[in-house]
Amino acid sequence: MAHANKKQFAVIGMGRFGLSVATALSNMGLDVLAIDADEHRTQMVANLVTHAVSADSTDEEALRALGIRNFDVVVVAIGEDIQASILTTLILKDLGSPLIVVKAQNELHGKVLQKIGADKVIYPERDMGLRVAHHLTSPNVLDYIELSDEYSIVEMRVSAEMVGKNLIELDIRARFGCNVMAIKRGARMNISPSAAERLTTDDVLVIVGEKNDLTKLELAYAEA
């Protein structure tokens, strides 16, 4: 079922999160296999992805028959059933899946998943809460991405106070300990912005830094 020429993704669990991941990958032109034990759910997603199959992911033979180990990335997006999520992850590890990304319900579930071999554990509810909190406290923040426990990236709309100034004058690195990685201007992304370039009203800054430093930066320009 997997072809060698293009990166293959399998998404297990077609709840709201799994469906969202599967359709987003599919919209990017990637090959996606959607798997859910509920046939009704797989029928609903069949037209949105490359393949949709009804199968029990806790059944090793069923996953083996799908050639799951041939997929470059397997996303386990199983919702409420923590036991099924853990068992599916164990089977995928046993079958030799190269990269296993698993959705965790909470910190304890996440720790178990890491112990049994999940390559990446994601917390969609927690991360979405973080993003919403940043949007609410800092109207200029368009997106907030957690890189690790210490570091994050923010996409921040240029505030009125920044317009007409350049990066030298703003001196974000010295004042807040954060680095401007890029400036987005319309469809154009400048990944090595000149420090002398003047910022305009519609610019968006892509900034990386420690979480506490980014929060200070956000709050300093929140009122502007």
pLDDT tens digits, one per residue of 170-224: 999 999 999 999 999 988 888 888 899 899 999 999 999 999 999 899 888 875 4
Q: What is the DSSP letter of 47?
A: T
Residues 150, 212 within the same domain: yes
Residues 140, 116 within the same domain: no
Tell me the torsion sign for CA atoms 139, 143, 146, 150: negative
d(CA 119, CA 98): 9
Domain assignment present for residue 12? The answer is yes
- Residues whose CB is less than 8 angstroms from the CB of residue 95 and which lie 6 or more positions away in sequence, other chains included: 60, 63, 64, 68, 69
Is the model's pLDDT at 23 over the cut of 70?
yes
The residue out of 122, 149, 168 marking a domain boundary is 122
Residues 36, 81 within the same domain: yes
Residues 90, 134 within the same domain: no
Residues 156, 189 within the same domain: yes
Domain assignment present for residue 2? The answer is no
Residues 145, 57 within the same domain: no
Tokens of residue 34, six digits: 């959607």
Domain assignment present for residue 3? The answer is no
- The one-letter amino acid code at 70 reads N
Q: What is the DSSP letter of 191?
A: S
Domain assignment present for residue 215? The answer is yes
Report the CATH number at residue 196: 3.30.70.1450
d(CA 71, CA 54): 17
The residue out of 72, 93, 122 marking a domain boundary is 122
Give residue 62's region: left, alpha or beta (phi > 0; psi -120 to 50): alpha
Report the CATH number at residue 74: 3.40.50.720
Is the model's pLDDT at 2 over the cut of 60?
no
Residues 118, 177 within the same domain: no
Confirm if 25 and 1 have CB atoms less than 8 A apart: no
- Mean pLDDT, rounded, for 43-48: 94
Residues 28, 69 within the same domain: yes
Confirm if 99 and 91 have CB atoms less than 8 A apart: no
The residue out of 122, 153, 181 marking a domain boundary is 122
Is the model's pLDDT at 72 over the cut of 50?
yes
Residues 207, 103 within the same domain: no
Residues 108, 148 within the same domain: no
pTM given for the model: 0.64
**Max Cα distance, the chain (Å):** 63
Residue 223: predicted pLDDT: 53
User: Can you give the residue range of the structural domain that contains 179?
Assistant: 127-220
Residues 73, 98 within the same domain: yes
Structural domain total, the chain? 2
d(CA 153, CA 124): 17
Domain assignment present for residue 199? The answer is yes
Is the model's pLDDT at 103 over the cut of 80?
yes
d(CA 48, CA 72): 20
Domain assignment present for residue 1? The answer is no
Residues 98, 69 within the same domain: yes
